Amino acid sequence: MELLIERITDAGSGMARSQDGSVVFVSGAVLPGETVEAEVTSRKKDFSLARLVRVVEGKGKEKNPRRVAPRCKVFKICGGCWLQHAEYSLQLEIKASIVEDALERLGGFRDRSVRGNVECEASPRQWNYRNKASFPIGKVRGRPTAGFYAAGSHRVVPLPGCPVNAEPIERMFAAAQKSLPDLPVYDERSHAGALRHLVLRAGADSALASLVVGERLNAKGMKDVARLAGVLGGLGLTTFTLNHNASAGNVILGRRTEAVTGSGVFEERYPDGFTLACDTASFLQVNTEQAARLYAFVAREVGGRVLELYSGVGALTCYLARSASEVVSVEEWEAAVGMAEANMRRNGVGNVTCLKGRAEQAELSPSFDAVVLDPPRAGCERSLLDNILTAAPRRVVYVSCNPATLARDAKILSEGYELKSVRAFDMFPQTMHVETVAVLDRKE
């Protein structure tokens, strides 16, 4: 069937309507305004799923003029960068539209003039921006091979390289691919095997590699690991770790990590003068330059006494401390709290108190002028939002990596708050992911 693509969804599919008006989601490299030939693969109660056969051209129909040739050699095969075929300015428009759609459709903010008012700030780099990459390891042609998963599967696709990864990661990946230990690859069905993931991080002055294993290694295995660490050490690697993950789930990293070479700590420098240290399992935004812009934006929106929840190792905390008289940061993971305290000392930040605890159990004193939230993709638990509504700080700044849960949570907070502004940040060029900052002010 022929369909006109109206917009791109947050899953990367094109939304269209069939002749009877029903919604059809078309997977494949489509863009708004294009007429496509599509094959229906599944029919649901309220919509259908289809796959792209071809973009129709001729008789007044043409490709979107902002379509470009993808850089990646495994585009359409790898499950990663779904927007490489769109000119960068169009990528920004698509991401702003995704945020607007979520706030309107899921948050009910139709009367708040959201549509057309969300700007997506461009990343300083559109390529080679990622300071971290996690590569699943599978068996390809009989040998252990690191790569990325094919779209919608756990089949490892071998990579000639990845154009969004920082150049040091590209060099380390190419070398590691030739030197992976000759050990059994982890099997998700039997939960047996050693090699699970290769994790690489690269900053301005340091680099970390970690091999994630599903079982204890024998002496030969450890010798192979040491050999791999030596190969990467010649490319600027400053520390190599072994992460142990025997769990049966899809979580990449386990709870126990041991340093094979170096300290096991990775450091990243931010453009504003901060240096943040983290370990193998710690979270840092993968696009350092864009993260600095987002953090500076959030910091400008607060002042006085600030409560920061889901604070991690303290990257955003450092920025908040510049504009606030006092910051109380709360993080559930004990190791991250310790690293946050060390990062405050490292950067000469003296007006921050780092606390261990769940965000839902944080003491929301009325003395806080603002609460800053940066939750995982699942968003905030309802109990936390209720606590905020009860304490009623003057301002809430919500940093989100998921427009859908942001919209859901902002709708709950709207019982006591007005949505003042929304700004999107393109933290992940070429992909469908977008980071958003929503500022909400207490209703008077």
User: Residue 254 is which amino acid?
Assistant: G
Q: Which of 81, 162, 380, 401 is catalytic?
A: 401
What tokens appear for 140 in the block? 């390809």
Nearest Cα residue to 116 out of 125, 128, 104, 134: 104
Dihedral sign, CA of 254, 256, 260, 266? positive
Classify residue 19 by burial, with Cβ atoms within 10 Å: 0-12, 13-18, 19+.
exposed
φ/ψ of 340, rounded to 5, equals: -65, -45
Calpha distance 234→172 (Å, rounded): 9
Closest CA to 404 of 109, 95, 102, 112: 102
What are the beta bridge partners of residue 356?
Answer: 331
For the question of residue 354 being annotated catalytic, the response is no
Pinpoint the alpha helices (H) of 135-246: 167-179, 219-233
Residue 184 neighbours by CB under 8 Å, 6+ apart: 192, 193, 194, 195
Kindly state the greatest CA–CA separation across the chain: 68
Dihedral, CA of residue 339, residue 367, residue 440 and residue 384, to nearest 10: 60
Distance of CA 293 to the CA centre of its chain: 16
Q: What are the DSSP calls for 240-285, one per residue?
A: EEEEE---SSS-S--SEEEEEES-SEEEEE-TTS-EEEEETT----
Helix, coil or strand: residue 355: strand
Active site residues: 401
